[in-house]
């Protein structure tokens, strides 16, 4: 495995990529036109405020958002999503006050979100782990003979 694809923190190498989907309250189809444009700008702006958080892809549908991003291991996914959804709700209500009056009061987003890890190929990892075990066993048997 090459370390070129990994990012660095002081004491770790990592590749932590996630696919996240979240929706407006009641899955209303409101994420279009000016709202979609503003939401897109704010997602990029807010993610750039967190050190190491990087947006790779963003797709905004009328009733949900797909986000593919890197989140360093120093942050929990729930921490980033709480920050993002909370700040976005405040910004959206500020910019589009009619949303607050017309739809949900204080709530812009549905409570949860869907998250899936996107990382190294599972089959490759399985093979590597099995290979590593065999390599360790071979090394142990060779070293065992050295001290007999």
Instruction: Record the tokens describing residue 78, joined without a space.
Output: 């729930």
Q: Which residue has the higher pLDDT, 112 or 131?
A: 112
Q: What is the CATH number of domain 3-119?
A: 3.30.70.1290
Phi-psi category of residue 113: left, alpha or beta, with phi > 0 → left and psi -120 to 50 → alpha: beta
Identify whether the C-beta of residue 55 lies closer than 8 Å to the C-beta of residue 92. Answer: no
β-pair partners for 69: 18, 55
Which tens digit of pLDDT belongs to each residue from 50-94? 999 999 999 999 999 999 999 999 999 999 999 999 999 999 999
Instruction: Answer yes or no: are the C-beta atoms of 8 and 99 closer than 8 Å.
Output: no
**Locus of tokens 């909370």:** 86
Q: Exposed/middle/buried for 129, CB within 10 Å: 0-12, 13-18, 19+? A: exposed
Q: Among the options 26, 38, 75, 128, which is catalytic?
A: 128
The answer to whether 115 and 22 are in contact (CB under 8 A) is: no
Domain boundaries, the chain: 3-119
What predicted TM-score, i.e. pTM, was given to this entire model? 0.80
Structural element, H or E, at residue 83: helix 77-95
What pLDDT is attached to residue 100?
77
Say whether 113 is catalytic. no
pLDDT tens, position by position, 128-145: 777 776 766 666 666 655
User: Which residue matches tokens 């959206």?
Assistant: 92
* Alpha carbon distance 112, 49 (integer Å): 22
DSSP symbol at 74: T
Tokens of 15: 């590749």
Is the separation of the CB atoms in 31 and 24 below 8 Å?
yes
């Amino acid at each position: 495995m090459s370390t070129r694809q990994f990012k660095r923190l002081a004491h770790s190498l990592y590749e932590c990529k996630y696919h996240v989907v979240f929706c407006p309250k009641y899955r209303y189809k409101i994420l279009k036109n000016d709202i979609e444009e503003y939401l897109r700008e704010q997602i990029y702006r807010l993610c750039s405020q967190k050190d190491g958080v990087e947006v790779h892809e963003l797709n905004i549908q009328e009733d949900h958002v797909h986000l593919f991003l890197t989140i360093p291991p120093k942050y929990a996914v729930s921490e980033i999503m709480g920050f993002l959804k909370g700040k976005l709700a405040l910004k959206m209500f500020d910019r589009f006050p009619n949303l607050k009056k017309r739809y949900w009061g204080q709530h812009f987003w549905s409570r949860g979100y869907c998250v899936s890890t996107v990382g190294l190929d599972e089959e490759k990892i399985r093979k590597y782990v099995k290979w590593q075990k065999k390599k360790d066993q071979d090394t142990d048997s060779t070293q065992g003979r050295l001290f007999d």
